[in-house]
Structure 1
């Protein structure tokens, strides 16, 4: 039962990743067909992320009332509905409407699943589960690239992904009895007897620092994923179909990195993995800054950026119960998700404005700023939590 539940959770993490890279890989074609500026991708991204902020903040109450399984099924269904809406959209404003369920579905499942895994599994499983998020995020640019290359259009790309999400919804629905096992819902209810409000949570020592760290990382990741294709197509001169698929290299780097780091994540520890990840991603961004005569030569740098990004997200999540207590983890992870999506909401559109009014060449420099800031805040968090634990010895 427990092994089957873990397999279901792996499928759920694939469903989390599937929609995340679609907008970025399809936007070079979408914005021209819809006759809107390139920066409008940021508006859609903002609506999606805004929905995730709302549902992330609600995740503690929803999970305590409905359980992780029901929240997961409902969230994947909402995402599937939003993606299908994208596939039927004929205007930019209709895309904006469909972005609402798209975003609402993403936030609650993200917080609920991550807390469930942080409570019941080790760092290795957390890393490998997030690797499967990367599988989903890596598959979708190839599907979009295939749809564009075969002349099917970007709507077909969205339709294909929505069908996959619908199938996953059915599988997750059939698995609902598994979530009520002794190590699942019962354990969660024991840890979540009282709701921790936002005001109370941010007063806990170190919470503000982890929120800023997560904000910085997700601002980096979302900006990187959203603007990769546009950067290589519009600045580096790469063919649009190739640029759409080229975006997958970043997510492939994340996927490969999470698979490999899973083997030593328990030994190195969450703090060490976060530090190593930020530094490696920063080195990869440095390689992207080099003036390659052939844009395809940037492949190693993009792959290194993804590999560096790989351990940061799962390590921050997995360290939450240890840093702030199991009884507080669901509420704090929900707030972390909200903070992360504030970064995802506002920072990609800010870069869109920079790309439109200054130059898209600023892309790697913009990424570097968030990596450096995230690393500094993470190290400060480590020192703060060490002092707190020393005081209680």
Structure 2
């Protein structure tokens, strides 16, 4: 039964990734149909992530009233309904209206599942689960790219919505599995989580900054790379979409490999190696030739792969198990704050300058992420000395 539950959680992570890159890939056609400026994508993306921030911050309270299985099912169903709404939307205003519940659905399930896995499963499962998120994030743009030249972007949203409805049904049927697993959680652990000290641990600000920068740069690349290659490199829309899929595919493959590496290396080592590789990839991405940029995009994906799941899984070790449920929600909130503000902020820069600044901005964010992580490592080391 435990194995079946783990399989269901894997499927749930696929549902988390499916919608993430749809807007970035479809936007070159969407903004033309709606007569919207190119930079509008950043504001829609910001609205989605804003809802996610809110639900992440409230996830601790939500989990006090509902089980993880109920939060996961409800959020997946809400996401499916919103994606169907994107397919139907007659104007840009509808996209903004639907973006709010779309974000609310993503945030609660993300925080709930990550806390559940961090508490009950080993590090390799966290990497492989986020690998399944990558399968969804890779499959989404592939589906969109396949229909862009024939039936337009709307059919891409319709297909992903149908898949989400199917995943919601699987989650609903899995409720008995979650009930059995939930019985293994001790009452003492539940009490420790709900009566924790409200004072934040030392160094948590650097952890939150790292989450903000990580999700910010991941979303920035996912949202703007397609438009960058279309406008700056004169790629076709289909080719640019394929490159975005390669980026998410490298994250996916990287997390699969990271699952095996986690048997040998600690979370701290995995984070450090991943950030170093991602920084190297951003240097290659800065070199303005197609070959080096593709290599850089792949290296960035492989480098980013272990960072997020390793940071999540290390939360109880960094700050204590009693603090982890609340801090998991805070970390999710800051992660989506990065997704919320960095892409539209770059959109503002683009509207005044050029998309050509994308590689340089990527390098700067990678440097900030490295600094925040190493500063946190030093603080934790001093506290444990």
Please give the TM-score of this superposition, normalised by the length of structure 2: 0.97
- Contact kept? 1:67, 1:185, Cα under 8 Å: no
Counterpart CA distance in 2 for 1:357 and 1:215 is: 24
Corresponding residue SS for 1:262: helix
Partner of 1:8: 8
Counterpart CA distance in 2 for 1:246 and 1:298 is: 10
Offset of 1:387 from its aligned partner?
A: 1.6
Partner of 2:133: 133
Counterpart CA distance in 1 for 2:92 and 2:188 is: 46
Aligned pair partner of 2:295 in 295, 300, 303:
300
| Compared CA separation, residues 307 and 156, structure 1 to 2 (3 A) | same
Superposed counterparts of 1:374-393, under 5 Å: 374-390=369-385
| Compared CA separation, residues 185 and 162, structure 1 to 2 (3 A) | farther
Partner of 2:316: 321
Counterpart CA distance in 1 for 2:263 and 2:56 is: 27
Counterpart CA distance in 2 for 1:195 and 1:34 is: 47
Aligned pair partner of 1:366 in 361, 368, 380:
361
Corresponding residue SS for 1:38: coil
Counterpart CA distance in 2 for 1:262 and 1:105 is: 27
Partner of 1:348: 343
Offset of 1:299 from its aligned partner?
A: 2.2
Partner of 2:153: 154
Per mean C-alpha deviation after superposition, the further-off stretch among 14-23 and 266-275 is 266-275
Superposed counterparts of 1:242-257, under 5 Å: 242-257=239-254
- Contact kept? 2:17, 2:136, Cα under 8 Å: yes
Counterpart CA distance in 2 for 1:368 and 1:212 is: 16
- 2:310 maps to 1:311: no
- Contact kept? 1:122, 1:266, Cα under 8 Å: no
Counterpart CA distance in 1 for 2:57 and 2:195 is: 10
- 2:61 maps to 1:61: yes
- Contact kept? 1:25, 1:245, Cα under 8 Å: no
Counterpart CA distance in 1 for 2:36 and 2:186 is: 46
Counterpart CA distance in 2 for 1:55 and 1:188 is: 26
Consecutive unaligned residues of structure 2, counting only runs of 5 or more, are none
Partner of 2:144: 144
Offset of 1:64 from its aligned partner?
A: 2.5
Partner of 2:168: 169
Counterpart CA distance in 2 for 1:244 and 1:189 is: 49
Superposed counterparts of 1:214-293, under 5 Å: 214-292=211-289
Counterpart CA distance in 1 for 2:291 and 2:152 is: 24
Counterpart CA distance in 2 for 1:375 and 1:73 is: 36
Corresponding residue SS for 1:181: helix
- Contact kept? 2:196, 2:322, Cα under 8 Å: no
- 2:188 maps to 1:180: no
Counterpart CA distance in 2 for 1:154 and 1:279 is: 36
Offset of 1:267 from its aligned partner?
A: 2.0
After superposition, the CA RMSD in angstroms is 1.6
Counterpart CA distance in 2 for 1:191 and 1:154 is: 47
Offset of 1:16 from its aligned partner?
A: 0.6
Offset of 1:266 from its aligned partner?
A: 3.3
Offset of 1:297 from its aligned partner?
A: 5.8
| Compared CA separation, residues 267 and 297, structure 1 to 2 (3 A) | closer
Counterpart CA distance in 2 for 1:24 and 1:262 is: 28
Partner of 1:47: 47
Partner of 2:101: 101
| Compared CA separation, residues 198 and 110, structure 1 to 2 (3 A) | farther
- 2:71 maps to 1:74: no
| Compared CA separation, residues 43 and 23, structure 1 to 2 (3 A) | same
Offset of 1:245 from its aligned partner?
A: 2.3
Deviations 1:26-80 (A, max 9, x none): 1111111111111100111111000001100111111222111101001111111
Counterpart CA distance in 1 for 2:291 and 2:139 is: 20
Q: How many residues align?
A: 385
Per mean C-alpha deviation after superposition, the further-off stretch among 283-292 and 68-77 is 283-292
| Compared CA separation, residues 296 and 33, structure 1 to 2 (3 A) | farther
- Contact kept? 2:46, 2:344, Cα under 8 Å: yes
